[in-house]
Structure 1
């Protein structure tokens, strides 16, 4: 069973003792609690693991502490993952996550400029809050047809995350140019696995210059993705403690 607790202002204002008593004991009835090595809780993160263990003795629940997860002496954390993605280092994020960073989105209608340039794109609408830094990426896109028993389709892709500065100021968009694809995917869900950052998003002086850049992006993506296997999860982490 997975229990999610909305992080409300009321919850944020609870003291460590109030959190233990009101949430862990009275609402959940906790018997065994597992926390990370740097866990802190309560208002202003003022509750320590030591205090939590004391409360465990008081209320009759066990507390175990999960040690730092390391890879090559590097402590892995959500902060490091976030920093890697916000800098566009999606291949570095693989080492931290143990898998390729990915997002799911629904294909929606765009302005049709990509098709007019000869590079049709699937415009994705996603609820993902954390996105890689604006730029152009080599990616693999998977599409599983609804009700189809066949394995999901997989496409090589060039994905642009950004505001399309060549055509004026646009809202942030995610556009995937699927290589060698002819499917009509409007309204379908696609999952994009980011493999390698190709370049920054740029404002080009002409459509011809943009087309040349996209052609180069496509060739680089083909070269990179030909040697890529999507990693869903990698069991190479070392657990300490």
Structure 2
């Protein structure tokens, strides 16, 4: 359940043990913070507190999109990690100006009635990130709230972080990103109308805009697809701007779903990147493109087993 804000919080959601952070991607490190929050007070409801939009989106709106998970997907992943409630606090100018002490008193203590908190060692909050973990420990103790500070989770000798996962995806290593996420990285969104060229070529595709999602390495991927009916299908997808067709102003994700017949327009699907097959390429014409797609389909089927 997503609760947007800290005013008039339903009584059922008050008095929880709360994991704090942006939690973009909800990776294995974030899951460890949720586990620590629960382990400290297994008698309480487990909640996660996050900010929406991501503070970086608020302060640097002209940055290229970087999000691993938008709020609905983030809430789904947090629920899968055990959270009963997700507090998505609106991050605006007023919130950005709130002092660190006011955040502890008004939001955590009075607004949410938090009984215990958990976060990573780098968690910072309040105006100009004025509050750190030492300050949080001191202020939480004054108000009878416990605090668990969870060290970063290491994988292959390095700390798991959203930044590292983004870099792996941008470099074309979705399977290495998946090891740190604990699941394949997924782009969720509605299927939009394309120009129906895929149909003409014999490979009808489900088209999606990346929107606020991070743009992974452009090219062709073996994917699995979470369909609206709850089933999962296999497929091959292209992330790019279609250079053979003159180029697009925005990056799109086009997915050919194997053995699928149905209308997905306007419905939400999730495309999960499994393996990077080849970079985006410009072909001399449609015939050459058709041959390449046929090879991509074979390569994706082999990669997916």
TM over 0.5: same fold?
A: yes
Alignment of 1:175-194 (within 5 A): 175-194=254-273
Shift of 1:100: 0.8
Shift of 1:153: 4.2
Instruction: In structure 1, list runs of 5 or more residues that go unmatched.
Output: 146-151, 227-241
Q: Does 1:115 align with 2:215?
A: no
Distance 1:32 1:156 in 2: 42
Match of 1:203 among 274, 282, 293: 282
Q: Does 1:17 align with 2:95?
A: no
The 3-state SS of whatever aligns with 2:139 is helix
Instruction: In structure 2, list runs of 5 or more residues that go unmatched.
Output: 1-84
Q: TM-score, normalised by structure 2?
A: 0.66
Distance 1:201 1:95 in 2: 25
Distance 1:177 1:41 in 2: 43
Size of the aligned set, in residue pairs, is: 220
Q: TM-score, normalised by structure 1?
A: 0.82
- Corresponding residue for residue 225 of structure 1: 304
Q: Does 1:167 align with 2:245?
A: yes
Distance 1:188-1:57 versus aligned 2 partners, 3 A rule? closer
- Corresponding residue for residue 63 of structure 2: none
The RMSD of aligned alpha carbons is: 2.1
Distance 2:192 2:100 in 1: 46
Based on CA coordinates, which of the two structures has the bigger radius of gyration?
Answer: 1
Distance 1:184 1:44 in 2: 48
Distance 2:222 2:114 in 1: 45
Distance 2:206 2:120 in 1: 40
Shift of 1:71: 2.2
Cα deviations by residue, 1:108-158 (Å, 9 ceiling, x for unpaired): 32101111122221223566623423221111123243xxxxxx4443211
Higher relative contact order (CA 8 A, sep 6+): 1
Q: Does 1:155 align with 2:233?
A: yes
